[in-house]
Amino acid sequence: MNFSEFIVSLLQVVFIDLILAGDNAIVIGLAARNLPQETQKKAIIYGTGGAVLIRIAATVVVLWLLQIPWLLLVGGVLLIWIAYKLLADQGDEHTEVKAGVSLWTAVKTIVIADAAMGLDNVIAVAGAAEQHIVLVILGLLISVPIIVWGSTLFIKLINRFPWIIFLGAAVLGYTASNMITEERMLEPFFTAHPLVRILFIAFVIAGVLFAGYRKQKSAKQSQQHSYS
């Protein structure tokens, strides 16, 4: 991987981190909402720090697992589902997250919730990083401060410009389809037929966006009927 490819992959990892961190940012806010303001900052920093360490460890494990035959294919298919859910579940709330009543209760809530919700992020980042752990760590180091300190702004940005979510789903679709084409059992076929590879990637991205758009449209129509 040359320098330009490294930078492009790094930007892809950071973008995926940010797109999939909306839920995590909400969890951080909900878990720390009942604490005094000065304690809230500590809870956010400690909780996010613990979550990042767990996420790095989990991504290293996934990077190792993806070297096993057929698991790149499995990871790619799972990531296609995650990309679809990113669009289909847009607007869901996480009101079930309990607010911590003490610093360490809030920290524990943040770490556990992030670990439970972070599987999509781990798989996506592992796929985008293409076996480079340095990309994973650098991506987290860049995106985590943005998530912690700019989470509210980023969520507002997504709400104001919904196309950002579609762009994120497209990036995930590309990452997923690229993972599948790089599966060692399938790579010889896609290498021998580069046009098929391009068409497959385009089909996956278009399929994710179309299915997600249809789901959003259906959900809006259901809400309108329920209000009328």
Structure confidence by residue, pLDDT tens digits, 192-221: 999 999 999 999 999 999 999 998 888 777
Instruction: Please report, for the chain, the start and end positions of each structural domain, with discontinuous segments joined by +.
Output: 3-227
Q: Please enumerate in sequence order all residues whose Cβ is within 8 A of that of 177, keeping only pairs 6 or more positions apart, or say none.
A: 76, 80, 200, 201, 203, 204, 205
Structure confidence by residue, pLDDT tens digits, 150-165: 555 665 676 788 788 8
Tell me which of 160 and 98 has the higher pLDDT.
160
Whether 97 and 27 have beta carbons less than 8 Å apart is answered as yes
Whole-number pLDDT of residue 226: 66
Q: Please enumerate in sequence order all residues whose Cβ is within 8 A of that of 156, keeping only pairs 6 or more positions apart, or say none.
A: none
Quote the mean pLDDT of the chain. 79
